[in-house]
Every structure is written in structure tokens, then in C-alpha cells.
Chain A
Amino acid sequence: MQAIDQKLLRDFKRLWVQAVAIALVLACGVAILLTSVGMYNALSETRLAYYERNRFADVFAETTRAPLSLLPEIAQIDGVQSIEARISGFAILDIPGRTRTAVGHILSYPETAEPVLNVPLLLSGRFPDPASTDEVVVNAPFAQEHGFAPGDTFSANLEGQKRELVIVGTVLSPEFIYTIGPGALMPDNAAFGIIWMSERAAAAAFDMTGAFNNITLSLTAGFRPEPVIDALDTLLEPFGGRRAYDRATQVSDAFLDAEINQLKGMAAILPPIFFGISGFLVSMVMSRIITLERSEIGLLKAIGYSNTEICLHYLMLAGLIAVVGVGLGWIAGTALAQSTARQYAEFFDFPYVIFRVSYWVYAAAGLAGIATTSLGAAQAAMKAARLAPAVAMQPPAPPRFKRSLIDDAMARMRLAQSTVMILRSLLRWPLRSFLTSMGLALAVASVIAATFINDALDEIVERAFFQTNRQDAMLLFAEDVPEAVLEDVRNLPGVLQAESQQFHAAILRHGYLSKRSAVEARRAGTDLSRVLDSDGLPVDVPPGGIVLSDRLAAHLDVQPGEKIEVAFLTGKRETFDITVTELVGLHFGLGAYMDFEYMNALFRQAPRVSTVNVTLDENETDALHAVIKETPRITGIVEMNENRRSFQETIEENIVVMNSIYIAVAVLITIGVTYNAARIQLSERARELASLRILGFGRGEVSYILVGEMMLIALVAQPFGWAIGAYIAFLMSSNFTSDLYQIPLVLNPARFSFASLVVLGAALGSALIVRRRLDRLDLVAVMKTRE
């Protein structure tokens, strides 16, 4: 090994604490890049592969009942490659050993061959015998949740007929990567299962012999879905067709898509921040090293080392820091990717283990890390190369301080000399002070950005579960039933309060803009499921009008007072022009609301209900479930308490992990910035501070100068940190918002104080560590050194 490389290694060893402090920040960037890009690729590539292999459809539609004879015509639609007609329905399930009901989504499995589209992937057992009427396969997560294996049985209430079904296999399907039951807000594999039964059995159960009520199409490559959807709608219209939709509206794909986009956003926003900070730290430390090693640089040049060799020498020092950072980042990123993968495995049902970060992502993250540190070191290394040897051998000229207006102000304030020293040093290197401050501001912002999600989710939970949806459960019916059912429901065991609600799928149009959404109708003064305005006050939709969520209104570019066209896809399937009377904020889904009486009047029908919202006496829950299992008209029950609990559990679990990571990151940034800045201060001022000690200043007084300056910089950083944190929160809230949900921008002063406390605490800690070095300063030695 060459002597200059020995020097490199020894320099690195001497600087290791500073180097590691920087390397850790860099490692965060590398780890997050690795996780987000890796997961992004893994998710999107796996989705693509899974969709291709199992022939996930491109267009989906439901009808009330369409004859099979319609299929050749559908196949003729321009752009249609293949079609799969199915029978689909819902049933209340009675699972042995479970008092609560569960809901099953039943799909027919073709008799002759395997399905053309949305092919379920068999994980265990076999597919149902076409001739059998009681054999089914179920989705694997549902089976796993209940400990089902092939051969086990459960019963289902199929259109009023209670039937014992035998599980012969478990499957996964590309249609149900994210499985969420009707009306539910969170996946609950115990309460919702997908059940495939032979076509013959399904036809018999749902009275669909010679007919279908669910159709999926795949398109020829390059064909856009819109014209096909229009043509399909025209054909299905007479048979109660609800508007067909493409993958973007398919629930499972939409959730997956939202997640993939979030990863993309994370990869774009966070790593550059960490890389930027580590680049800045490297640049700060390298400039200082070069100042300190001035005479050594002069010497190397005097000996005959070329500018390039010297430049490379210092770049390699930065390179070593990068290597450590990248290495740590790879390790942390791999662990983080694995834990993220475990989280995905909980939410998404993929058949194969796909959460593998490919090598090129490691390589790219590593290169990005090395590039940023090199960039940070470049300026200092070039400066070293440019130092004229004769000049380098001389001690550097003392920094120039000039009197300014600020000095006069300080004089007038009669500040202590030590305070003047602090302020003058800040003003002497304003850019450095500013950048140091910005580094700490980013640490504050990182805590705010992480904890903001807490408040946002609290707000969502409060709004969605405690203000808007206050019912204990929703009872779902196969089709709308006369409102008289309310009396029957009130007589069910444990039901305390029951209110009616009607849902219709509709296409809302305003000019050329249109959006598919559910339109909900409820009676004025309803207490359990309410519409709230931005102040949280209940809104009663006036007859003759429609209230939209602000995101839906934004989609349609419509303001209150304007009319929109509402084309109902269910009920009488009529189209009306209705005035938008008000916009409301909503965190889940896209909402559209009408008055119950008004909607029934539009449809010229006696009041009908799609769901009944109830409050329950908890002691009688079991009895209620027992009755529901035997009540054919009820196809489902959504227990809001279960939803609340599972939502809160999930987010709490994720948030604890996420917050810990972000706070750790903020502390790392703070230590990286403060420790390095304080070390540099100490090395620049060792003579000055030692002189003060010789003059009779105490340790405390001298360290006040060092620690005081760092803490002043940290204090200045706070408002910037709050502003940047609020901005990142804003970015997150707008980027992570989709049709499915909206993250509200909640800025809570308590979180800002918390962020400041974390960062100021870490800054003080790091400054105090450096202070210990100050205490050990060898006064005589310092005064003797040449600089």
C-alpha cells in the first residue's frame, strides 16, 4: 500500500465519529431509496406478471340478469379479445365455531374448462367438480383465517336457502389481491371471503340458469377501454347493466395502484433530502480538513504529487465515508424492505414471494450515495488541488472580520464579549451558518412530516368513525327492500335504533367531465350516518339538490349552484339534472348525497332501503348474528366497531414503526449536522478558546461560546423546520390523496413543539459531547501548534 493511502486510512480512522455521523445520514437516504424503489419495482412487476399469467381482465361489468345468448354479440365488440361471463352474488356465511356472521362473495367456476380470464391460482386441493352442488374453493386468506383445509365445511345462506358447502381447495386470484368486503373500510379476511362454486350450483342458487350477471373482458393489445365500455353498456343496458368500468375502478387494482403511487412519491421526495444533507455535511467536513491540512497539501505538492493525485486523495476520503454509508444503507434498506414486505403480505394477497429488491436498485442507490458525497467533497478537493504550494506552506491568513451595523447594534446592547464572538462568527460565515441551520430544519421537518400522519389519521378516524358513521353496524340487503323492513330490523335481538339509507350507483356528468360514484340518500335529521360540513355540523340535503364531496366536485369541476347530470345505473336507471347545493369534506371515497324522500320521488316509488344502520346492545350481539344467519334477505352485516378496531390497530402498528424510524432519522441528521459543525468550530477556534482559558475564563464560560453558537443555530432552524415540515405535510396530503381516500392536512402545534424538542435535545447532546473535548484541551500544546 502506498504511503498516501496509509494517510487516507489513518485520516479516516481519526475522523471516524464524524464520518459515521455523516455515513448514517447517507445510509438513511440509501435505505429509503432501496425500500421505496425496490418495493415499487417489486409490486409493479409482480402485479404485471400475476395479471399476465392469470389473465386479469381489462373491463368489468355487472347486470341484473342477461341471457348467455348475448355473449356472441359482446365478443363482436371491436377490441374485445376474450370474455368471461359469470354468476356473482353475496351470501351470509355461518362458520362453525364463529358466532358472528361472515359475508361471502360467490362466483361461478366454469363447467368445461378453466376460466378464460381472472384465473384463480390453486394453492391446495382441487377445483369443484362441475356436477357437484356443494363443492367450493375459497380464497386462501379466508381459509387461513378460519383454519380451513380441503374437506372442511361451512354453511351459506344462498337466496334464502341454507346450504352446507364443502371446501375442496384454496386459491388466490388476481381480482382479489386487496380483498375488501362491501361497505367495509378495511380488509377483514375473517368476515369476508371469496367463494367459487360450479356454474351449475351458482346458477341454481341465484336463479341464473342460461344467464349471467357479471362479465369481464380482456382487450386486444393497445386498445383503449373507453369505446369497449360504451359498446358493452349499450348491449347490457336492457338487462339491467350497470356501467362497465376498467381496471382503474376495480377495487383491488385501485388500492394496489394507490400503494404503488405512494411508493413512487416516497422515492421521489425523501432520498434526495438525505443525499442533500450528507453532501452538505461532507462538503463542510472536507473544507475544514483541507484548511487543517494546508501545510500537508503544500508538502505533498512540494514533494511532487500532482494536483490530480491530491484531488483524488481527498475525494477518496469522501468516498470512504460514502462506502460506509452505502454499506449501512444496504443493510438497513434490506431489513426495511423485508419489514415493508411483511406489511404488504398482510394487506395484499400475492401468490408468490416477490419482495426481492433487484441488484440494480442496490447498485443505483450505492452510486447515488457515492455521487452525492463526491459532489459534496468536489469543491473542497478542487480547492486543495488549486492551493499554490508556496501559499499552502504558509499559515492561512486570519479570517477577515469587518465592523458592520450589526456590530454597532451589539455594542449598543452591551453584550458580553463571548456573545459577541458567537454572533460575529455566525455573521462571518453566513452561508455556512445558514446551511447548518437548514440541515437542522430538515431534521425538524422530518419529525413533523412523520407525526403529521398521526394527526391526519386521528382526524380521519374521528371524522369517519365517530362523527360521520356512528352506527354500530350496517345491514345489507341483496336488493332494495320497502322501508317497512325497518320495523322488522327493530325487532331483531339487540337492535336499539335503526335508520334507513339508500345507495345507487350513478355516473355524474358535468360538461365533458364524468365520474362514477355511489349516490347515498338518507332522511333529514338522520342520526347514525350523517353528512358533515367542514365545521363538522350535520348537513341535511335539501330536496331537489345534491351534495358532493369536494374531491368529487373537483373531478367534475363543479361549484355549488351549478347543475350536474346524474345517470343512475340501478333502480329505474333514469337520468336527471340536479343542482349541487353544497360541498363537504370527506376522507374516504367520493361521496354524493341526496334527500331520501326526494330520491324516492324521482324514482316514483314508495320508500325503499338498501341498508339499515343500527345501534346495538352489545350483550345481544351473538343472538343477533344467530338470527341474521337464518335471514335470507340480509346479504351482509358490516360491523363498524370491528372496522374501527381493525383500522386503528393497523394504523397504530404502522405508525409506531414509522414514527420511530423518522424520529431516529431526525436524531441522526441532528447529530450528523451538530456534531460535525461543533467539531469544526472547535478545531477552528481551539487557539482562540485556549487563549481565553489562559486569560482566566472558566470551562463553562469557554464552552458557552461553542455550545451557545450551536444552540443559536439550532434555534434559528426551528421556524424554518416548521415551515418545511408543514410543506412536506402538504405535499404528502396532496400526493397521497386518491379517489379511495384523502389525507387531511392537520397541523397540530403540539407536534411542532415535539419536533423542536427532539431536535434541540439531540443538538444539545451532540454539542455537549464536543464540549467534553474542549474541557480536555491541552492549553500549552494548542498554543504551540503552528496554525
Chain B
Amino acid sequence: MADIIFRTEGITKVYETGEVKVYALAGVDLALYKSELTVLLGPSGSGKSTLLNILGGLDHATDGRVWFEDTELTDMSDRGLTKYRRDHVGFVFQFYNLVPSLTARENVQLVTDVAPDPMPAEEALDLVGLGKRMDHFPSEMSGGEQQRVAIARAIAKRPQILLCDEPTGALDSTTGVQVLEVLRDINERFGTTTVVITHNAEIQRMAHRVIFFQDGKISETRENKDRLAPSEIVW
């Protein structure tokens, strides 16, 4: 088996609202491997996004431990996590989260301005097939295009990990497939470890491995012997 890139030991995340405690994660042990494309599957509120946030250094676990390669993220300072995100992690979100006042190119430059070894913004946009729409503002683009800008922005720093939270959630099937194609292309071309959260069961078929979530815990892990190309997926 390939090298482990992420490892977690019994992580829990508790949200307290008044007197009610909500367990978003209730003891998750997990290992993710280098260059693997993993799909996290599960209904809303099952803890997928919380896990992704903790892996991406956006949030701290309430309990348990997390490692990125040999670095423990568990109690890392804010400053340390900022550097970790800046150097290693690329994010793709359901609602693209583009800065509306910046063009596609400038949105990507937001990353290339601060990353240690980025690719040119133009190259990243070429990779997602938007080389000709670089100077358009988000409002001038379709949802699929916006999401591809978001992916270009995520990969422009040449991240080791790409964390995607419902990347096709706001898209129709055809556009969604285009976005998935890009993700798989990146994964294969650069060997970027890719984690895709979805509650769309069809998408699991393109993954190396699928991890099922239920009530803040992993309910099942399954390896795909026969992966499908995104173009073969329909929903």
C-alpha cells in the first residue's frame, strides 16, 4: 500500500448550542493514502464536512489526534495552520466561493500570490479548460465555469492534497461531469491526493476508495476494483 498522508485517531467534534451537545464527529479513525482519490459519502449532518475542515486545518477537533504525514495538526497554532494551508492544501467548495470583485485570473492569483511554488494562474486555468475566459468576472460565468475557476485556484499552488466539499452539489449533471473530469485529471496528472465529499452516491464509482459516514462515524470503507471514468457516470 502507498504511503499514508493523513491519519486520525479517535477524533471527535462537539458543537455546544446552549445545553445541547451535538456530536458532529464521534471518534473517527482514518488513514488516507498518497495519490489516492477518496470519496466521502453520507447524508447531510453525518460529519463529512467537519472531518474535511479538520483535515484542511480550518478547524480543531474537540478530542483525538490528526497527522499530516509526520506533522501532528491536532494542537497546531493558528499561525501553524495558516502556513500548513498555504503550503499544502487546496480547497474546492460547493458554492465556489469566488471573490465576485475579481476576475477568474485574479481569483487564481489570490493563491499564487501567497503560495511558495505556484504554477502561473494562466496555466492553472488552462488545465481546467478556461484559458479563454480568464478575464471574466464570476458573474459572467456559468456555475460549472465558476467551479472550474475554483479548482484552478485550488491546484495553482501545486497542493499535495485537494479537499473538495460537494464540488458538484450546485451543478447540473453535464456540468458536474465536466468538473469531475478535471478533478480526476489533476489526480492522475499530478498525483494529488484528492478527497471529495458528496452525498451523490453515483460519484463513488470514480474513486479509488469510498468511505461511508453515518452519525459522525465511519460506517463502511470500500475499495473500487473497477473505477469508472466521470463521463461514464450519470445522475
Chain A residues with CB under 8 Å of chain B are 2-4, 6-7, 10-11, 14, 295-296, 298-307, 309, 388-390, 393, 786
Contact of A307 among B59, B82, B93, B153 (CB under 8 A): B82
The reply to whether the CB of B222 lies closer than 8 angstroms to some CB of chain A is no
Q: Can you list 30 A-B pairs, Cβ within 8 angstroms, ordered by A?
A: A2-B109, A3-B102, A3-B108, A7-B102, A295-B97, A296-B99, A299-B91, A299-B93, A299-B97, A299-B99, A301-B82, A302-B56, A302-B85, A302-B89, A302-B91, A303-B111, A303-B114, A304-B83, A304-B86, A304-B87, A304-B111, A305-B114, A306-B79, A309-B114, A389-B58, A390-B59, A393-B53, A393-B93, A393-B97, A786-B95
Closest 8 CB pairs of A and B: A304-B86, A3-B109, A10-B101, A390-B59, A389-B58, A390-B58, A390-B53, A3-B106
Alpha-carbon separation in the docked complex, A306 to B80 (Å): 10
Give A477 Cβ to nearest chain B Cβ, in Å.
Answer: 81
Interface residues of B in 115-165 (CB under 8 A from A): 115, 153, 157
Interface residues of B in 60-117 (CB under 8 A from A): 78-79, 82-83, 85-87, 89, 91, 93, 95, 97, 99, 101-102, 106-115
Alpha-carbon separation in the docked complex, A298 to B49 (Å): 14
Inside 8 A of B91's CB, which chain A residues have their CB?
299, 302-303
B85 & A304 in contact (Cβ 8 Å cutoff):
yes
Interface core residue of B86, B97, B112 (most chain A CB under 10 Å): B97
Interface core residue of A3, A4, A6, A393 (most chain B CB under 10 Å): A3
- Besides the contacts A4-B113, A301-B58, A393-B53, what 18 more A-B pairs have beta carbons closer than 8 Å? A3-B112, A4-B110, A10-B101, A296-B97, A296-B99, A299-B91, A299-B93, A302-B58, A302-B89, A303-B85, A303-B86, A304-B87, A304-B89, A305-B82, A305-B86, A307-B78, A388-B59, A393-B58
Inside 8 A of B107's CB, which chain A residues have their CB?
3
Assuming the contacts A303-B86, A303-B91, asked whether A389 and B109 have C-beta atoms less than 8 A apart, the reply is no
Inside 8 A of B106's CB, which chain A residues have their CB?
3, 6-7
Alpha-carbon separation in the docked complex, A305 to B112 (Å): 11
Residue of B nearest to A389 (CB): B58
Assuming the contacts A304-B114, A307-B82, asked whether A7 and B101 have C-beta atoms less than 8 A apart, the reply is yes
Q: Is the interface of A mostly helix, strand, loop or mixed?
A: helix
Inside 8 A of B79's CB, which chain A residues have their CB?
306
Residue of B nearest to A307 (CB): B78
Alpha-carbon separation in the docked complex, A786 to B95 (Å): 8
Residue of B nearest to A785 (CB): B95
Number of interface residues of B (CB under 8 A): 31
B83 & A389 in contact (Cβ 8 Å cutoff):
no
Residue of A nearest to B105 (CB): A3
B82 & A10 in contact (Cβ 8 Å cutoff):
no
Residue of A nearest to B85 (CB): A304
A2 & B99 in contact (Cβ 8 Å cutoff):
no
Alpha-carbon separation in the docked complex, A389 to B54 (Å): 11
Chain B residues with CB under 8 Å of chain A are 53, 56, 58-59, 78-79, 82-83, 85-87, 89, 91, 93, 95, 97, 99, 101-102, 106-115, 153, 157
Contact of B101 among A2, A11, A309 (CB under 8 A): A11
Alpha-carbon separation in the docked complex, A295 to B91 (Å): 13
B95 & A14 in contact (Cβ 8 Å cutoff):
no
Give B66 Cβ to nearest chain A Cβ, in Å.
Answer: 14
Alpha-carbon separation in the docked complex, A389 to B113 (Å): 19
B85 & A301 in contact (Cβ 8 Å cutoff):
yes
A304 & B93 in contact (Cβ 8 Å cutoff):
no
Alpha-carbon separation in the docked complex, A700 to B159 (Å): 53
Give B169 Cβ to nearest chain A Cβ, in Å.
Answer: 12
Inside 8 A of B82's CB, which chain A residues have their CB?
301, 304-307
Alpha-carbon separation in the docked complex, A23 to B180 (Å): 48
Inside 8 A of A296's CB, which chain B residues have their CB?
97, 99
Alpha-carbon separation in the docked complex, A6 to B58 (Å): 25
Give A280 Cβ to nearest chain B Cβ, in Å.
Answer: 26
Residue of A nearest to B110 (CB): A3
Alpha-carbon separation in the docked complex, A10 to B83 (Å): 27
Interface core residue of B79, B82, B109, B113 (most chain A CB under 10 Å): B82
A304 & B115 in contact (Cβ 8 Å cutoff):
yes
Alpha-carbon separation in the docked complex, A4 to B82 (Å): 17
B114 & A6 in contact (Cβ 8 Å cutoff):
no
Alpha-carbon separation in the docked complex, A471 to B54 (Å): 91
Interface core residue of A299, A300, A304, A786 (most chain B CB under 10 Å): A304
Inside 8 A of A300's CB, which chain B residues have their CB?
110
Inside 8 A of A309's CB, which chain B residues have their CB?
114
Alpha-carbon separation in the docked complex, A442 to B81 (Å): 46
Inside 8 A of A390's CB, which chain B residues have their CB?
53, 58-59
Residue of B nearest to A786 (CB): B95
Residue of A nearest to B154 (CB): A303
Residue of B nearest to A11 (CB): B101
Inside 8 A of A14's CB, which chain B residues have their CB?
101
Inside 8 A of B157's CB, which chain A residues have their CB?
304
Contact of B113 among A3, A301, A307 (CB under 8 A): A3
Alpha-carbon separation in the docked complex, A57 to B78 (Å): 70
Residue of B nearest to A310 (CB): B82
Give B161 Cβ to nearest chain A Cβ, in Å.
Answer: 12
Give A244 Cβ to nearest chain B Cβ, in Å.
Answer: 73
Residue of A nearest to B109 (CB): A3
Give A3 Cβ to nearest chain B Cβ, in Å.
Answer: 4
Give A19 Cβ to nearest chain B Cβ, in Å.
Answer: 14
Alpha-carbon separation in the docked complex, A724 to B106 (Å): 49
Inside 8 A of B111's CB, which chain A residues have their CB?
303-304
Give A79 Cβ to nearest chain B Cβ, in Å.
Answer: 68
Assuming the contacts A302-B91, A305-B82, A307-B82, asked whether A10 and B109 have C-beta atoms less than 8 A apart, the reply is no
Give B92 Cβ to nearest chain A Cβ, in Å.
Answer: 10
Contact of B102 among A10, A304, A389 (CB under 8 A): A10
Inside 8 A of A10's CB, which chain B residues have their CB?
101-102
